[in-house]
Amino acid sequence: MENNNNDKIRVNTYTEIDSSEDKLLDEIFWSSYLWIILFFVFSIGLKIHFFAFALFIYFFSFKFQKNLLRNKNKDEKIKELALLNNDNLKSKYSVHLGNLVKKHKKDLEVLTFYNQVKRFFGFDYEIEKTIPSQKLTSSKSNAITPVLIDDVILREHCALMATSGGGKTELLLNSYIESSISRGSGVFAIFGKADNSMLQRVQSISTTFNRMSDLHILDWNPDKRGKFNSNTINLFELGASKDIITMLTSIADLEGNDDGSWNGKAKLFLSSLLKVILTLRDANLFLDISKIDKVFNSTNKFEEYQKHLVKLDYFSFNRLLSETDLLIKFLLIFDEIYETNKNEINTKLYSKFIKIIEVESKNNSSLSHLDSSVKNQFHNELKNVVIMLSNVPDWQSLKNTYIGGVTTENGTVIKGIEAVSLRYPQRSGTFYDLSVAQGLMDKLVNFFDSFAPILKNINSDLNILDAIDSNKIVIVNLPGQNKIYSPILAELLVSTLNLLAERRGKDFIPDTTTLVILDEINSWLKTKNNQSYQIGDLLSVIRGLYMGAVLSFQSDLKETMGSIDNSQIIANVKTIISLKLEDVELLKLLNSKVQKVEKITLEESMKRDKNLKKSHNNEDSKLSKSEEDFFKPEMLSNIKNGEGYIIRNSIASPFMAKYIVQKSLYKTTKDDVVLNRYVDVDVIRKKQIELGV
Among the ranges 125-129, 145-149, 524-528, which has the highest mean pLDDT value? 145-149
Q: Average of pLDDT values for 161-170?
A: 89
Number of H helices, E strands in the chain: 31, 20
The domain ranges of the chain are: 241-389+432-446, 391-430
How do residues 327-361 score in pLDDT, each as one tens digit?
999 999 999 999 898 888 888 887 655 544 444 44
pLDDT attached to residue 402: 93
**Per-residue pLDDT band at 111 (split at 50, 70, 90):** confident
Band of the pLDDT at 634, cuts 50, 70, 90? confident
Q: Is the pLDDT of residue 249 over 80?
A: yes
Task: Report the alpha-carbon angle 98-99-100, nearest 5.
Answer: 135
pLDDT in the model for residue 598: 75
Distance of CA 643 to the CA centre of its chain: 21
What is the per-residue pLDDT across 66-90, written as a single tens digit (0 to 9) for each? 666 677 778 888 888 888 887 765 6
pLDDT at 362 over 50: no
Q: What pLDDT score was predicted for residue 528?
A: 62
Show the DSSP H helices in 341-431 as ranges. Answer: 342-350, 354-359, 365-368, 380-388, 395-404, 417-423
Q: Is the pLDDT of residue 421 over 80?
A: yes
Residues 370, 411 contacting (CB under 8 angstroms): no
Q: State the pLDDT at residue 565.
A: 75
The whole-angstrom separation of Cα 147 and Cα 136 is 18
Quote the pLDDT of residue 489. Answer: 82
The per-residue pLDDT for range 429-485, each reduced to its tens digit, is 899 999 999 999 998 998 888 888 888 876 666 778 888 888 899 999 888 777 778
- pLDDT for 306: 92
What distance in Å separates the CA atoms of residue 327 and residue 273, rounded to the nearest whole number? 9
The pLDDT assigned to 652 comes to 92
Residue 535 has pLDDT above 60, yes or no: yes
Once rounded to an integer, what is the mean pLDDT over residues 603-627?
A: 58
- DSSP H helices, 525-557, are 535-542
Q: Which residues contact 480 (CB under 8 A, 6 or more apart)?
A: 192, 193, 194, 486, 520, 523, 524
**pLDDT over 70 (residue 321):** yes
Tell me which of 208-217, 560-569, 658-667 is least confident. 658-667
- Cα 664 to Cα 144, 173, 212, 667, distances in angstroms: 12, 18, 28, 8
Within 178-313, residue ranges assigned H as helices are 178-182, 197-208, 241-252, 262-282, 292-296, 301-305
Q: What is the mean pLDDT of residues 634-642?
A: 88
Q: Which of 44, 37, 485, 86 is nearest to 248 (CA)?
A: 485
